[in-house]
Amino acid sequence: MGRIDAIAAIMLRSGVGLAVAGIAILFGLAPVQAQGDKMTAIAIPAQPNAIELGTGALPDAKAQESWHRQYGSVFARNVTIATLTPFLPQPGKATGAAVIVAPGGGFMSLSMENEGWDVAKALAVKGVAAFVLKYRLNQTPADLPGFERSMQRMFSGAAVRPPRPSADDAATRLAPQIADARAAFALLRQRAKEWHIDPDRIGMVGFSAGAALTLMTALHGQDAKPASIGIIYGPMASVTVPADAPPLFAALAADDPIFGNSGSGLIDSWRAAKRPAEYHLFEQGGHGFGMYPKETTSTGWFDSYVRWIGMHGMLKPAH
């Protein structure tokens, strides 16, 4: 991700695991050339506050979780056990609002720092209890060189575009990840008193593939029912919007090589259903800008998002 995250770009070409290519075609994507900093394997960081969500191990998973560094950030791969890590505000600043943060990475890695921990820390400073969702991923080669070679093969030659699946089919293919998101919402509501959060003010924000998961959680997450959703450089294709859909915030850079030319069908769908929607289309920023400090106005997405959830009553002081 980042300055273009090759992992996120895998959404465009991959045919393994949960058929992510089908998800990519669903949202009208075209092939993207991978580029960026070299991956470097690192030890799995200590995550003492991570809570297992109880959704079980990913079926048929053989490779063990591994991590690497790229673009000045850290990424997890081959996640088979979903976890949730809390980042709580100082008691005097807590508003009672909560947000589940879903990093991106093409459903084959997770940008845990730029689109996870850094977002959660910034939300906590604003008085929002934030929870980073490390959801289960499609399996990739266990060793990093093998993973890099598999990526190179994916980006060589012409792309083969499979038939466009339905949104319901996409939700089926993302069933493990949606189950992880549902479990995260259930855990927050179960422990709401302990974490000093309002169970009716739990939102979700996602990035790239995490944005797709956020959208699918709102549309197909059954009991999840996020109070608001943030779609940050995520899919923009039109969808069927239920009458009780949550308020939607979307941010995208016009020069995003993945979603930049995919129109604004998502926003049109929300407005046609007479549900609240706000859309920020930045001139520049590329894909995966997240919390990276950049010269572009896309860096302002975070402050706009916080003001937006405040406008919708998410930041009213807890009583």
State yes or no: pLDDT of 201 exceeds 70.
yes
318 lies in some domain: no
How many residues comprise the chain?
Answer: 319
CA distances from 91 to 118, 131, 194 (A): 20, 16, 12
More confident site: 9 or 246? 246
Q: Tally Cβ neighbours within 10 Å of residue 156.
A: 8
Q: pLDDT tens digit string along 176-190?
A: 999 999 999 999 999
Q: Are the CB atoms for 276 and 233 separated by under 8 Å?
A: no
User: 3-class DSSP state for residue 172?
Assistant: helix
* Region 17-35 average pLDDT: 36
173 lies in some domain: yes
Q: What percent of the chain has pLDDT over 90?
A: 74
Residue corresponding to tokens 């005097």: 92
d(CA 269, CA 154): 33
* Region 220-246 average pLDDT: 97
Q: pLDDT tens digit string along 106-128?
A: 999 999 999 999 999 999 999 99
Q: pLDDT tens digit string along 264-318?
A: 999 999 999 999 999 999 999 999 999 998 999 999 999 999 999 999 999 987 5
Q: pLDDT tens digit string along 51-89?
A: 999 999 998 899 999 999 998 899 999 999 999 999 999
Q: Name the nearest CA neighbour of 90 among 121, 45, 51.
A: 121
Number of structural domains the chain divides into: 1
Which residue range(s) make up the domain with 91? 6-311
* Region 157-167 average pLDDT: 50
State yes or no: pLDDT of 24 exceeds 60.
no
316 lies in some domain: no
Q: What is the pLDDT of residue 118?
A: 97
**284: DSSP letter:** S
Per-residue H/E/C for 214-228 = HHHHHHHCCCCCCCC
d(CA 185, CA 196): 15
Q: Are the CB atoms for 136 and 180 separated by under 8 Å?
A: yes
d(CA 25, CA 164): 6
Q: What is the pLDDT of residue 86?
A: 98
d(CA 229, CA 235): 13
317 lies in some domain: no
319 lies in some domain: no
Q: What is the pLDDT of residue 16?
A: 28
d(CA 39, CA 318): 43
**Residue 157: both structure tokens together:** 């030659």
Q: How, if at all, do strands 98-102 and 202-207 pair?
A: parallel
Q: What percent of the chain has pLDDT over 70?
A: 83
* One-letter identity of residue 94: A
Q: pLDDT tens digit string along 247-271?
A: 999 999 999 999 999 899 999 999 9
Question: Nearest 5°: phi and psi at 12?
Answer: -80, -25
Task: Write the CATH number for 96.
Answer: 3.40.50.1820
Q: Which helix (H) or strand (E) holds 207?
A: strand 202-207
The alpha carbon torsion through 301, 105, 83, 226 (nearest 10 deg) reads 40
Read off the pTM.
Answer: 0.88
Q: Tally Cβ neighbours within 10 Å of residue 190.
A: 11
